[in-house]
Chain A
Amino acid sequence: MLYNEAGQFSTRYAQDRRVFRLRQDRHALLALLLFAFVAVPYLGNDYWFSAILIPFLVLSLAGLGLNLLTGYAGQLSLGSAAFMAVGAFATYNFELRVPGLPLLLSLALGGVCAALTALLFGLPSLRIKGFYLLVSTLAAQFFVQWALTKFSWFSNDSASGVISAPPLQLMGVDFSSPAGRYLFTLGVVVVLFWLGKNLVRSELGRNWMAVRDMDTAAAVIGIPLLKTKLLAFAISGFFLGIAGALWAFTYLGTVEPHGFDLNRSFQVLFIIIIGGLGSLLGNFLGAAFIVLFPILLSNLAGLLPAGLIDAGQVENLQKMVFGALIILFLIKEPEGLARLWQRFRERARRWPLRY
């Protein structure tokens, strides 16, 4: 009943090609966007914006970037944080060295730099596959971090490579308050997700999925492997680069190369495993999980009598629970949290009838 598609006919081809074909989906999305853009800035407080909502949005975007590469095109990568770092430092340098460049443009240029880096490290992907490809992405991870710490030009000769955010101004409007930073992040994330949604529906997205499922077969039916794989790396790098710039400038404010280490790459990978490989909604669910879960766990530990568990043990416990959850998800729900939402939709379609 809730999700009844009966009676919704397409009378034009344009209607058939819509991103969201169901009226319920469109209305729900509109309501959600209105809520996020209008209601949340009034309802939320600074803690919510700075500690939960902004990292949630940025990590969703990073998840989307990796998901395009791993979930859709099937190329395993452990170098996400490197591309995020390139995006952040490139945006910083564009803002610094080109006076008067609009913020959004330098953000996009930062994304392009990250895309070019990803393209470079994606070049071996045509010849090497699977786990061997990990080497290429790990090379990116270590090389970028080394280059950013070693050459102080990237961080404008600041001590230990720390960079701080340029003023967040857009056409004269200041976005540096917590609510402003939230709105800025939200705007960028919504636009890029819209782009991502359209990408995976396009010919390119379908080529990616064919390559993921079996690249030899894809090559046989005439999909250009080199172009498809390299575009996956480049576009994924673009999304990750912008996510990195947002992470540095709207979430943290200041960042050093060490903030984009291998653990950040793992974090992004866990987002897409938990959320669901090959699903756009999954990025949000996974990111929400990654952001909220440590907060929940430390709150739970705070409820216990003081002295029973110290902070170090909470961290160890968190690691263990995390690892266990990853394994549990892979065993029980390999398609991630997004699958749960699909199941709910299936049920909502026929509710309250049995079938």
Chain B
Amino acid sequence: MKKILILLAHPRFEKSRTNRFLLDKIEEQPGITLNDLYERYPDFNINVASEKALLTEHDIIIWHYPLYMYSAPAMLKQWIDVVLEYGWAHGSRGNALKDKTIFNALTAGGARESYAHNEHNRFTLRELLVPWEQTAALCKMIYIPPFVVHSTHLLTDQQLVEYARLYRLLLQRLSNDEPHLENVRQYEYLNDWLLTDKEQLNHE
């Protein structure tokens, strides 16, 4: 069983309905560690050694955050800057994260359709996530598609419960090492992979 580390960066978690649904009692699932960065480092003074130790202990890393202005809250950038050191995470001798799996799990206010070339967000979400993908590549990690919850403020509680179930299913399947990563990478979102698999199951 693979161990999963969720790096949560939400400056106002107590006000985020969506993320509370997604992460409610998440740690009760075996093999999952929730690292709540804003709660741990309210002064932004990140303990690099302890973060490195956490990364070393886990096989799958998740950048979990709300999408703000096409990017992540400041804490996560701070985390990337101070934890992913040259010579440890990247560089010719920086192999500490080699072959670990990493992806973004994010919540966005805008609808999925609005992230397109002819829509007002002008880029697809995958295009906007290019820096993350390349950061993962630099650290010799395996980057897989993001898990995304769109139109967060329009979702009903029922829909949120459904998303939360989907996220749990994802973590469970990744932890059981089910997917062939090459297979997963062809999807735009991990949501798509989970849903098609589900449809196939329903068909059979």
Partners in one complex: no
